[in-house]
Amino acid sequence: MSFRQPRFVLAWVTREGEPTTPMGEGGSVLFVEHPERGWEIPGGHVEQGELPETALLRELKEETGLEGVILSWNTEYYPEGWVAHVVVPARTDVRWKVSDENVVAVQWWAEVPPVRTWTEEEFEELANHFSSR
């Protein structure tokens, strides 16, 4: 693991008890819909003096209403950010709303959702990284 502190953290969220297979091969991942940026994975900036783990779990709770457990980190994919594989308790909800003004909806996706500012390749590469763990 790198010792530099990230500017931002992102959560690659899967459900407890589900196989860690890639999206499109039976796995599903949690995405949030931002009003301008479209579908993306939960996350945000690390505040001054905040640990990356604390920031990630805070952002996950704010953006999805869920609490999770960090299984591993990818500290190399983004130059200034870290992505954690987080597992949350199994839910039957497929899509829901939260009170965060920056999140229109929260939804489980079995494939990369329609993206605006992110690329399908980013999510496919992250899916392969975390499914191989």
Can you give the length of the chain in residues? 133
Give 23-57 pLDDT, tens digit per residue. Answer: 666 678 999 999 999 999 999 999 999 999 999 99
Map out the domains of the chain with their CATH numbers: 8-131 (3.90.79.10)
DSSP codes of every residue in 64-130: HS---EEEEEEEEEETTEEEEEEEE-----SEE--S-TT-SEEEEESSPPPBSSS-HHHHHHHHHHH
Q: What is the DSSP letter of 42?
A: S
Q: What is the pTM of this model?
A: 0.90
Instruction: Name which of 72, 86, 93 is nearest 43 in CA terms.
Output: 86
The pLDDT of residue 16: 87
* Environment class of 94 (CB within 10 Å of its CB; exposed 0-12, middle 13-18, buried 19+): exposed
pLDDT score recorded for residue 23: 66
Provide DSSP, 1-12.
Answer: ---SPPSEEEEE
Contact criterion met (CB below 8 Å) for 86 and 126: no
Contact call for residues 76 and 2 (beta carbons, < 8 A): yes
Spans in the chain with pLDDT lower than 70: 1-3, 19-26, 92, 132-133
